[in-house]
Amino acid sequence: MSLSEQQSVEQEAPAGEDYHLWHPFSQMQKILGAQNIVVERGEGPYLYDQNDKRYLNLTSCLWNAPLGLGRQDIIEAVHKQLNELSFAALFRTAHRPAIDLARKVAEIAPKRLNRVFLTSNGSESVESAIKMVRQYFHRKGSGKYKVISLENAYHGVSYGALAASGFADDQQGFGPMPAGFVKIAQPFNRDSQTEAEREAFEIACAEQLEKAIVAEGPETVAMFILEPVQGMGGAIVPGQAYFDIISETCKRHDIKLVVDEVTTGFGRTGTLFASERFNLDPDVMCLGKAISGGYFPLGAAVATDEIWEAFLSDTDAMRFNHGSTNAGHPGACAAGLAAIDILTRDNLIADAAARGEAFLERLQELKELQVVDNVRGIGMLFAIDLVRDPAGREQLDAEAMDMVAKACFARGLWVHIAGSRILMLPPFILEDSHFDEAFSGLKRILSRVPNWI
Ligand code: PMP
């Protein structure tokens, strides 16, 4: 599933002729015909709509605002930067906030990652990574160009990122997709019940990488891209064995390991980057979302020295012919520097992860409810899978999920509905009382679902 399950709640009906905003991943007919939330302001973990109704932001907006909204420290940093220099290009010339941000990101990035190519969003980071790796091999005179990725992966909307993504619905009607993209299974299966079954399934999935490489021809495969923990794919957290196998396979076949940490980066899974947690040694890391705390569009593709060096030459013909006007905007870099400073301060991420762990344990109680099939999570990332009938485990349909969304929003709980799943990626600033509010609301709503189906 994708962002396309946009929730709408009875509020204000935008009139057709006078409504010009075309929403992303949204059925505009539903938005025009129904009544819709217009968010007017945000404060800490809360959003307020046009009627001043308050919502607990259990998704950190689109998981990009883990520090909450309206923080004066970040706003002032951006304000100061825009006063000083509102824009300057990075095409050959530089500006100070970009230089400082790149240094900061290189300093905190896992292992060999050291060179920071700034972008404006996650899709652009993934697109940059794909082009970077393809061109790296081209520079080396190699024929490697294929990209292997996972089913149910979400990597973004531009053509390369979309082709690497694994949601068939999102690709429908946009074809033909670019050539050279190959999928293998996501390391998750609803039928694996015990720990041993789960591990065996994950190992089989990891071994699919080897099989796919051999089937395609190792001399043609450039990279394997994965979200260490799939977010949109359903909070899928593989065990260490999975990561050890895919890492070894990539190294043995000279295939670049690209981690998409657009969602997992900056603390979502309990460590600054999920790559640290799973001992990954990526060749490129894609960043976005929380890198600026959601205060300015920003992203980055962070590469090793080895990749960067392949582009060094005294001729322009060897340069990385890629980039966009607003990538690394001075205001975005200032927001990034301020957000990273806060995120890496004290024990903010570890404390959030500890509260997340307690919340996940509590959420497990929901499995007693008739419609709850599975509850998963890590750090501050949670998924609840809903079913119609626990025995047959038939997933809840779109109509029932619409009711779930409406009930959550009516109760002031801002969640994300993806297919038959509730996703929550709360801000790191939530306190015990917020988790109580979320848990009791969800329990009440989910216990009522059998009446609606
Ligand atoms: N990769 C992942 C893992 C994501 O979750 C997303 C956004 N949901 C993207 C890439 C694309 O980022 P953006 O929407 O900023 O282009």
For residue range 61-114, what is the model confidence (pLDDT) as tens digits?
Answer: 999 999 999 999 999 999 999 999 999 999 999 999 999 999 999 999 999 999
Ligand 1 pocket member 227 (CB < 6 A): yes
Ligand 1 pocket member 150 (CB < 6 A): no
Task: Find out whether 30 and 198 touch, Cβ atoms under 8 Å.
Answer: no
Tokens of 302: 């962070």
Nearest CA to ligand 1 atom 13: 122
Q: Does residue 439 fall inside a structural domain?
A: yes
Q: Where are the alpha helices (DSSP H) in 324-397?
A: 330-343, 348-364
Nearest CA to ligand 1 atom 14: 122
Amino acid identity at 14: P
How far, in Å, CA of 46 to CA of 427, rounded?
Answer: 10
* Polymer length of the chain: 453
For residue range 360-383, list pLDDT tens digits in order: 999 999 999 999 999 999 999 999
Nearest CA to ligand 1 atom 1: 155
Query: Does 275 share its domain with 338?
Result: yes
How far, in Å, CA of 98 to CA of 81, rounded?
Answer: 11
Query: Does 61 share its domain with 83?
Result: no
Ligand 1 pocket member 121 (CB < 6 A): yes
Number of structural domains found in the chain = 2
Ligand 1 pocket member 170 (CB < 6 A): no
Q: Where are the alpha helices (DSSP H) in 188-283?
A: 195-216, 240-252, 274-277
Query: Does 366 share its domain with 413?
Result: yes
Taking the CA of residue 288 as reference, the ligand 1 atom at the shortest distance is 15
Q: What is the mean pLDDT of the chain?
A: 94
Burial class (CB in 10 A: 0-12, 13-18, 19+), 320: middle
pLDDT of residue 354: 98
Query: Does 64 share its domain with 105?
Result: no
Task: Find out whether 132 and 301 touch, Cβ atoms under 8 Å.
Answer: yes
pLDDT of residue 12: 53
Q: Does residue 381 fall inside a structural domain?
A: yes
Ligand 1 pocket member 232 (CB < 6 A): yes
Q: What is the CATH number of the domain that holds 441?
A: 3.90.1150.10
Query: Does 363 share its domain with 232?
Result: no
Taking the CA of residue 126 as reference, the ligand 1 atom at the shortest distance is 10
Query: Does 155 share its domain with 256?
Result: yes
Ligand 1 pocket member 61 (CB < 6 A): no
Query: Does 317 share its domain with 444?
Result: no
Ligand 1 pocket member 441 (CB < 6 A): no
Q: How big is the CA angle at 340 (ends 338 and 341), to the nearest 5 degrees?
A: 65
Q: Does residue 59 fall inside a structural domain?
A: yes
Q: What is the CATH number of the domain that holds 195?
A: 3.40.640.10
Taking the CA of residue 264 as reference, the ligand 1 atom at the shortest distance is 3
Query: Does 163 share its domain with 232?
Result: yes
Query: Does 419 share its domain with 363?
Result: yes
- Asked if this assembly's ipTM is beyond 0.95, the reply is yes
Q: Does residue 2 fall inside a structural domain?
A: no
**Choice from 64, 262, 416 to test ligand 1 binding pocket (greatest atom count within 8 A of CB):** 262
For residue range 223-265, list pLDDT tens digits in order: 999 999 999 999 999 999 999 999 999 999 999 999 999 999 9
Task: Find out whether 425 and 231 touch, Cβ atoms under 8 Å.
Answer: yes
Task: Find out whether 5 and 169 touch, Cβ atoms under 8 Å.
Answer: no
Query: Does 228 share its domain with 90?
Result: yes
How far, in Å, CA of 48 to CA of 293, rounded?
Answer: 19
Task: Find out whether 233 and 153 touch, Cβ atoms under 8 Å.
Answer: yes
Q: Ligand 1: distance of its center to the CA of 270 in Å?
A: 19
Predicted TM-score (pTM) of the model is 0.96
Q: How big is the CA angle at 44 (ends 41 and 45), to the nearest 5 degrees?
A: 95
How far, in Å, CA of 30 to CA of 21, rounded?
Answer: 13
Q: Which helix (H) or strand (E) holds 434?
A: helix 432-448
Query: Does 53 share its domain with 113?
Result: no
Q: Does residue 361 fall inside a structural domain?
A: yes
Task: Find out whether 372 and 384 touch, Cβ atoms under 8 Å.
Answer: yes
Ligand 1 pocket member 231 (CB < 6 A): yes
Residue 246: domain span: 72-343
Q: Does residue 22 fall inside a structural domain?
A: no
Task: Find out whether 42 and 57 touch, Cβ atoms under 8 Å.
Answer: yes
Tokens of 6: 């946009």
**Percentage of the residues of the chain whose pLDDT score is greater than 90:** 90
**Choice from 60, 64, 123 to test ligand 1 binding pocket (greatest atom count within 8 A of CB):** 123
Query: Does 180 share its domain with 308?
Result: yes
Our separate counts of H helices and E strands in the chain read 15, 16
Q: Ligand 1: distance of its center to the CA of 392 in Å?
A: 33
- Residues 17-26: contacts with CB under 8 Å, at least 24 apart: none
Q: Ligand 1: distance of its center to the CA of 120 in Å?
A: 11
Q: Does residue 13 fall inside a structural domain?
A: no
Q: Ligand 1: distance of its center to the CA of 232 in Å?
A: 9
Q: Which of 311, 343, 375 is the last residue of a domain?
A: 343
Q: Which of 298, 318, 343 is the last residue of a domain?
A: 343
Task: Find out whether 156 and 122 touch, Cβ atoms under 8 Å.
Answer: yes
Q: Ligand 1: distance of its center to the CA of 306 in Å?
A: 26
Q: Which of 295, 319, 343 is the last residue of a domain?
A: 343
Higher pLDDT, 114 or 9: 114
Q: Does residue 242 fall inside a structural domain?
A: yes
